[in-house]
Amino acid sequence: MALTPQWLDELRARVTLSSVIGRTTRLTKAGHEFKACCPFHNEKSPSFTVNDQKGFYHCFGCGAHGDVIRWMTDQRGLSFMDAVKELASEAGLEVPAPDPRAAKAAEQRDTLHDVMKATQDWFVRQLAGPEGEKARAYLATRGFDAHTVQRFGFGYAPEGRQALKAALKDVPEDKLIEAGLRIAVDDKEPYDRFRGRLMLPIEDARGRVIAFGGRILDAQKTDAPKYLNSPDTPLFDKGRTLYNLHRAGPASRQTGRIVVVEGYMDVIALAAAGIADAVAPLGTALTERQIELLWRLVETPILCFDGDAAGQRAAMRAIARALPMLRPAHSLRIVRLPAGLDPDDLIKQRGVAALDALLADARPLVEVLWEHERDAQPLHTPEDKAGLKARLLAHVETIADRDIQALYRRELLEKFSAFAFPRREQREWRPGEWKPGGAARPGSRALPRPTGRTRRQTPPRDGLSAAVLAGLIRFPAELALHADALATAPLADPRFEALIDAFESGEALESAAIAPILASRGLAAPAPEEYADLRFGFLGDVIPEDQARSELAQAIGLLVERPALEAALAEATRRFEADLSEGAYAEQQRLLKRKLEFDARLRQMASARAGVAPASPAKPMAE
């Protein structure tokens, strides 16, 4: 009877591991896991853990490890099929009927496993023989000792297009081709795929050889790839396989981390230096399936790719694939190695402690994403900066989890605001400088104000300004994030200036306290009728608070952008009316188009929550 991996995964997902183990072993809740004294060996203090989320149990004392099926076979003494049948009955799953085709495929895979093992044994013998001298010399230059060479199964594929076939003469030709060891060409005799290469076995989660990787030893062969891997076969799917996972998995349970490097030689170099929890993809960017495999071991794997441009591109491809998959507590951390160094180089030059320090200081995904986009293109003009913001938000939109998406949007917009609207230079307030509400408090700081700006105690009729003010009253903590942007923009409404001065003076800005602060400066809080036509989401109580704060940040961005756009359009119109040149006309039309686009964005934001009544600005909101 053949059971597909997909069906077995469904069975494991439907059965809660702790409930099965708890029938015979007393479990105690410990955070996200359960603990107990190990049922497989005698102990006085608990070292046996059960993790329902990851679906496995593990004993740090005796090393017992497995999933719910393994528990039934090892602890209950059932056969594999009896364990499956009992669990399937409990989960309400029907055990698939015997499938002759599946049975034949399983038999075929077993045969290919035998072929791969025989091939690996032959490669190892060739490394030890006379023809393997060049390969042994290369291993010596890498500093790999005999234990490392033996542990990772290094071998050698000699030159000769028919050497492997001659060595495995009892294996049918079609099996060697199916296993990816020989290449069949139309109307020509098949030939060995690996020739004149240092060989490494690629193993599955059970430690069985399923593929090979080979490194070229003759530097003169510029027409051949430096590294060559097996093609996809019935045993090997490179997008679903991580090199060294069967060794790194147990090690990660001791260290609490998993390190992803670029290639298998990096993995071996780290293992030789004592870092056993490293894996590598196999000739492709990190795939979604590989990320899921990593998340089964730890919640935040560490990407440690080379410090060159190719390594950083590989890291960004992995980030782009991980973003749609992000879920609570599950992400990636990234280490940026010094330029031009791979992990092996770093260890040789600075020692393993230097790499350990970098791994301990791995950076969150959101920070690396921000820095990559910020540094990707020059940011000299407002259009350049708007492009940066658009790229950041495009990444955010790919995140499927709405809570994480909202948090990413807020954090990236905060970073963008701090970058695009840098903090103004501050100086001590001096007598004679204007300040709403009278003289400044002793020791307070006042910022220089733009000259020529009319200071009116009666606010102009401006719905967007009033709506943003109402939003800041609901969420006063947002003022700290946007004070610089609001202060540098030539806003006509004096209430912004009053709020910023109060913030910089250290006054307690709570929702209920803002109206009195404005009143002390001869100003009134915005009334709902001032922004009655604008149905912003942050003015109502329908959307979640994080989303409301995010939409308020977007409205502030529009408010800050508008004066500069209107001034530029007015100046372009004046120039065109003065000289009637084609260049002046083109510039005026370009800015007019931008103004129309701006108005369309404002209308879209202001009507997105149509039917939601504006909230009273005086209503305090818990901070």
Nearest to 165 by CA among 191, 186, 203: 191
Boundary (domain end) residue, out of 236, 259, 287: 236
Convert the pLDDT of each residue in 124-141 to its tens digit: 999 999 999 999 999 999
Residue 291 β-bridge partners: none
Nearest to 530 by CA among 601, 460, 471: 460
Q: Is the pTM of this model over 0.75?
A: no
Cα 285 to chain centroid, rounded: 14
Give the CATH number for residue 249.
Answer: 3.40.1360.10
What's the number of domains the chain is made of?
4
Do residues 104 and 228 share a domain? yes
Is 421 among the domain residues?
Answer: no
Distance separating alpha carbons of residues 389 and 394, to the nearest angstrom: 9
Is 478 among the domain residues?
Answer: yes
Exposure class string for 302-322: b at 16+ Cβ within 10 A, else e = bbbbbbeeebbebbbebbebb
Do residues 146 and 230 share a domain? yes
Is 266 among the domain residues?
Answer: yes
pLDDT of residue 134: 93
Boundary (domain end) residue, out of 50, 72, 91: 91
Q: Specify the 3-state DSSP secondary structure of 116.
A: helix
Nearest to 116 by CA among 184, 197, 178: 178
Do residues 212 and 157 share a domain? yes
Spatial contact of 546 and 407, defined as CB atoms under 8 Å apart: yes
Nearest to 55 by CA among 71, 37, 41: 71
Is 401 among the domain residues?
Answer: no
Distance separating alpha carbons of residues 104 and 486, to the nearest angstrom: 71
Residue 400 amino acid letter:
A
Do residues 67 and 31 share a domain? yes
Joined together, the tokens standing for residue 417 give 């605001």
Do residues 55 and 104 share a domain? no
Boundary (domain end) residue, out of 236, 262, 296: 236
Residue 145 amino acid letter:
D
Do residues 248 and 362 share a domain? yes
Domain that holds residue 63: 5-91
Give the CATH number for residue 226.
Answer: 3.90.980.10
Spatial contact of 547 and 537, defined as CB atoms under 8 Å apart: yes
Do residues 292 and 207 share a domain? no
Residue 259 β-bridge partners: 278, 302
Is 255 among the domain residues?
Answer: yes
Is 208 among the domain residues?
Answer: yes
Q: Which long-range contacts (CB under 8 A, 24 or more apart) does 82-88 make?
A: 84/3, 84/8, 84/11, 87/11, 87/15, 87/20, 88/11
Distance separating alpha carbons of residues 16 and 84, to the nearest angstrom: 14
- Find the helix packing angle between 382-397 and 365-376, rounded to 10°: 150
Residue 461: how many CB atoms within 10 A of its CB? Answer: 9
pLDDT of residue 501: 79
Give the CATH number for residue 54.
Answer: 3.90.580.10
Do residues 597 and 471 share a domain? yes
Do residues 164 and 105 share a domain? yes
Which residues contact residue 152 at a Cβ distance below 8 angstroms, ignoring those fewer than 6 apart?
Answer: 200, 201, 268, 271
Residue 271: how many CB atoms within 10 A of its CB? Answer: 20
Is 435 among the domain residues?
Answer: no
Helices (H), 398-488: 402-420, 463-474, 478-488
Do residues 23 and 86 share a domain? yes
pLDDT of residue 267: 95
Do residues 76 and 129 share a domain? no
Strands 278-279 and 302-305: unpaired
Q: Angle at CA 132, nearest 5°, toward 131 and 133?
A: 95
Spatial contact of 177 and 190, defined as CB atoms under 8 Å apart: yes
The whole-number mean pLDDT for each consecutive block of 10 residues of the chain, a chain of 623 residues, reads 76 89 89 87 85 87 86 80 87 76 61 92 95 93 91 95 93 93 89 95 88 88 84 91 90 88 92 94 87 89 86 89 94 90 89 93 95 91 91 94 91 89 55 42 41 45 81 83 79 82 72 80 81 78 83 85 83 76 77 83 68 42 37
Distance separating alpha carbons of residues 382 and 390, to the nearest angstrom: 12
Do residues 255 and 347 share a domain? yes
